[in-house]
Amino acid sequence: MAVPNAQHAIVRFGELTLKGLNRRVFVQQLRTNILRRLTAAPKAKVIVKYDHALVFLNGEPEHVVIDALTDTFGISSFSMVYPCVPELESVCEMAVQLLSGEEPCTFKVDTRRKDKTLAFTSVDWDKAVGGAVLRQTSHKVDIHDPQITVRIEVDARTAYLSVKVYPGLGGMPVGSIGKALVLLSGGIDSPVAAYLAMKRGLEIEAVHFASPPYTSPQAVRKVYDLAIQLSRYQPHLIVHTIPVTDLQLELYAKANPSYAVILLRRHMIRLATRLAKQRSAQALITGESLGQVASQSMESMSVIQAVTELPVLRPVVAFDKLDIIAIAKKIDTYRISIEPYADCCTLFSVVNPITRPRLNDVLAEEVKIDYEPMLEACLAGMETQTPVTQTADYL
């Protein structure tokens, strides 16, 4: 007997089950996000229960649903469920076929009769199905700590089997907590920060600062490629590109070079704050990791964020570089981040950057520049895109 396509998936919530009276808000956001990820399976339907959801395939390809659920935050795990006629021989045959595709491991069978008038007990079917799997596969029984549990739910009309438990991403549904603007540089750290922010339920938009013609179109393309990769978790991620060439040249020409990076980052935060307010974002997100570079000392971060009243969230602040790289490889942004295209922060190197700036000294350097008209010019030159896989050069 050929194994039919799965009828539905059972989606387990995990952390969402801990929510109280506002659980409905989080669960409905998860349902919305699942449907957004299922645009390639328009016939699929999502029904929400108290502590799980059911995704009915309605004939849509199984792999499309698996891919969508795998990349959706807020899901602890999920399983595909296969229908079968409620006869022992058919159920045994399907269980064997489902397990034949798995590497040899330990298993147990867990049968539940929805209709208690059926002329068999759950234990009868546990023994019969388990015996069939033992005889026809290389799997071994372990009823205490199995690697796979064959779950069977049976009533008078249908038996439902599930075998494999797919791990979810966990976290909270994107958009359930609020919205934030991430400063996406093109390096290794900021895409990881964006990923972790989405995992905690934040919807994000990205802002990138470019210095054309000193930064190349490939540098912007690289950022757009990162946004495309992050769109796995939040479809249609928007990227705003702000040119800061004139501002940056003015800083390096008139201010003490040791303060140039600090001053530039303060202006980036100013620009990001104004953009965040336009886009109804409630916070800024950066990829700063404490002590990693000169502008990421405690004193530097304090001076830089002093220009904004918005919260500045730093999801990787306590991570070391190897921790960040490990996540970047997991989410497949690392290979893009290491492409050799310089961004505006690395373009003009400073020999002796200040590492413990005092706010009064920074303000003394900042007044050397009439920056307000330049900030307005930067925003006027902003371009907003929803990146796609192939585009022309942007600058």
Q: What is the DSSP string of 176-230?
A: SSEEEEEE--SSSHHHHHHHHHHHBTEEEEEEEEE-TTTS-HHHHHHHHHHHHHH
- Write down the pLDDT at residue 391: 44
Q: What is the DSSP string of 310-374?
A: S-EE-TTTT--HHHHHHHHHHTT-HHHHTSS---HHHHS--SS--SS--HHHHHHHHTTS-HHHH
Q: Please state, in angstroms and rounded to a whole number, the distance separating the CA atoms of residues 266 and 14.
A: 39
**What's the length of the chain?**
395
Same fold, 8-167 and 178-385: no
Per-domain residue ranges of the chain? 8-167, 178-385
Q: How many CB atoms lie within 10 A of CB 311?
A: 11
Cα 131 to chain centroid, rounded: 42
Annotation: CATH topology of 8-167: VC0802-like (3.30.2130)
Q: Write down the pLDDT at residue 120.
A: 85
Bridge partner list, 206: 182, 239
Residue from 61, 74, 99 nearest 11 by CA: 74
pLDDT for residue 157: 87
**Token reading at 30:** 């998860």
Gyration radius (Cα) of the chain, Å: 27
H-helix or E-strand spanning residue 283? strand 283-285
DSSP lists the bridge partners of residue 208 as 241
- Two tokens, residue 77: 């795990």
Task: Give the C-alpha separation, 384 to 365, whole Å.
Answer: 32
* Cross-strand bridge partners of residue 181: 205, 284
pLDDT in tens, the chain (395 residues): 456 689 999 999 878 877 777 888 999 999 999 999 999 999 999 999 888 899 999 999 999 999 999 999 999 999 999 999 999 999 999 999 999 888 999 999 999 988 777 878 899 999 999 999 999 999 999 999 999 999 999 988 889 999 989 999 999 999 999 999 999 999 999 999 999 999 999 999 999 999 998 888 899 999 999 999 999 999 999 999 999 999 999 998 999 989 988 999 999 999 999 999 999 999 999 999 987 776 788 999 999 999 999 999 999 999 999 999 999 999 999 999 999 876 666 556 666 888 899 999 999 999 999 999 999 999 999 999 999 875 444 33
User: Where do we find the tokens 């996000």?
Assistant: 33
The CATH architecture annotation of domain 178-385 reads 3-Layer(aba) Sandwich (3.40)
User: Does residue 31 contact residue 53 with C-beta atoms inside 8 Å?
Assistant: yes
**178-183 vs 283-285, strand pairing mode:** parallel
Q: With CA atoms as reference, report the closest residue to 386 among 259, 230, 169, 277.
A: 230
**What's residue 395's pLDDT?**
39
The CA distances from residue 121 to 117, 125, 126, 345, 368, in Å, are 10, 7, 9, 69, 85
pLDDT at 393: 44
How far, in Å, CA of 235 to CA of 95, rounded? Answer: 36
Q: For tokens 């009915």, what's the residue?
A: 56
CB 266 within 8 A of CB 362: yes
For the record, the structure tokens of 307 come out as 């220009």
Q: Is the pTM of this model over 0.85?
A: yes
Task: Report the C-alpha gap between 234 and 37 in whole angstroms.
Answer: 9
